[in-house]
């Protein structure tokens, strides 16, 4: 990823890069990263800057992932390691920062769970 761009990537690729590394940054995390990282005038960031950022923030991202898994466990009434997609939808659209049905569908499509009945959250970590 960095080799073809002279050791730099587009700031737009930061989220996918962090997710490939097993991190789960929110949009707010990514916005903060854009401000913290030395983004060049053409919207590119260097490998050393990204590496320093990941080293500095890895623990926070891992804690957020643990929080997400704990939230899934609350929805897992039977303790099977799975939650129903319908329970997930209901939770996302009625609790906390409520999401629209379109936003929930986008998450389910991204997670490739749009055509299944259950989300296997234990297989995610």
For residue 8, what are the β-bridge partners?
A: 46
What pLDDT, on the 0 to 100 scale, is given for residue 15? 86
- Looking at residues 36-42, what average pLDDT do you find? 78
- Looking at residues 100-113, what average pLDDT do you find? 78
Q: Report the share of the chain in percent with pLDDT over 90.
A: 1
Q: Are residues 63 and 14 in the same domain?
A: yes
What pLDDT, on the 0 to 100 scale, is given for residue 77? 83
What pLDDT, on the 0 to 100 scale, is given for residue 99? 83
The continuous run of DSSP H or E covering 30 comes out as helix 27-36
> At residue 115, does pLDDT exceed 70?
no
pLDDT band at 60 (very low <50, low <70, confident <90, very high): low
**What is the C-alpha separation between 49 and 115, in angstroms, rounded?**
39
Q: Are residues 112 and 81 in the same domain?
A: yes
Q: Are residues 1 and 31 in the same domain?
A: yes
Q: Are residues 49 and 2 in the same domain?
A: yes
The CATH number of the domain holding residue 96 is 1.10.238.10
Q: Are residues 4 and 63 in the same domain?
A: yes
- Looking at residues 24-43, what average pLDDT do you find? 82
Q: Are residues 60 and 101 in the same domain?
A: no
**Domain range for residue 86?**
76-125
Q: Are residues 105 and 86 in the same domain?
A: yes
Straight-line distance from the first to the last Cα atom of the chain, in angstroms, rounded to the nearest whole number = 24
From residue 69, give the alpha-carbon distance in Å to each of 4, 57, 59, 65, 76.
36, 19, 15, 6, 10
What pLDDT, on the 0 to 100 scale, is given for residue 3? 45
- Read off the pLDDT of residues 80-96 as tens digits, 9 standing for 90 and up: 888 888 888 898 889 87
Structure tokens at 81: 């390691």
What pLDDT, on the 0 to 100 scale, is given for residue 21? 77
Structure tokens at 102: 């379109």
Mean per-residue pLDDT of the chain: 79
Domain end among 21, 36, 68: 68
**What is the C-alpha separation between 108 and 103, in angstroms, rounded?**
9
How many domains does the chain contain in total? 2
Q: Are residues 118 and 83 in the same domain?
A: yes
> At residue 125, does pLDDT exceed 60?
no
């Amino acid at each position: 990823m960095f080799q073809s761009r002279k050791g730099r990537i587009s700031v737009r690729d930061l989220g996918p890069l962090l997710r490939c590394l097993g991190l789960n940054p929110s949009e707010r995390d990514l916005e903060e990263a854009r401000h913290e990282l030395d983004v060049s005038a053409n919207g590119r960031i260097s490998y050393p800057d990204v590496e320093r950022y990941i080293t500095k923030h890895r623990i926070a991202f891992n804690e957020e992932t643990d929080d997400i898994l704990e939230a899934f466990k609350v929805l897992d009434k039977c303790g099977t390691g799975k939650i129903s997609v319908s329970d997930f939808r209901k939770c996302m659209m009625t609790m906390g920062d409520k999401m629209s049905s379109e936003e929930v569908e986008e998450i389910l499509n991204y997670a490739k769970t749009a055509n299944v009945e259950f989300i296997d959250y234990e297989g995610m970590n």
